[in-house]
Copies of this chain bind each other. A is one copy, B any other.
Amino acid sequence: MIDGKWKLPIICTLGDQTMRFNELKREIVGITSMMLTSSLKELEECGIVHRESYHEVPPKVEYSLTDGGLSLTPILFDLGHWGHKLNTTKEKVNE
């Protein structure tokens, strides 16, 4: 569901903010327009990301997490903690 290399970085970067396309692109180092576009589209289809498009010139599109997406972040936070703890434990063993 959140597969692909960039979904997690996007969700974490977005957090509780509302960001525009190029803001995200600048924040997420190494991502290309293509990857960002396709990842955002999939996240939107999953109901994780909300997309607000203003039909203006120049175009303006804002992305934010839906409630569903927001409810994922604490779990991701736990997961991050778990990964960190696991690594420090491993380092201790290696010493």
Contact = CB atoms under 8 A, between A and B. Distances in A.
A85 B89 CA distance: 33
Interface residues of A, number: 17
Interface stretch (A12-20, A34-42, A55-63, A68-76): A68-76
A5 B90 CA distance: 24
Given A72-B82, A75-B75, 7 more contacts: A46-B90, A47-B86, A47-B89, A47-B90, A47-B93, A48-B86, A71-B85
Interface of A: 1, 46-48, 68, 71-72, 75, 78-79, 82-83, 85-86, 89-90, 93
20 contacts: A1-B83, A46-B86, A46-B90, A47-B86, A47-B89, A47-B90, A47-B93, A48-B86, A68-B85, A68-B86, A68-B89, A71-B82, A71-B85, A72-B82, A75-B75, A75-B78, A75-B79, A75-B82, A78-B78, A79-B79
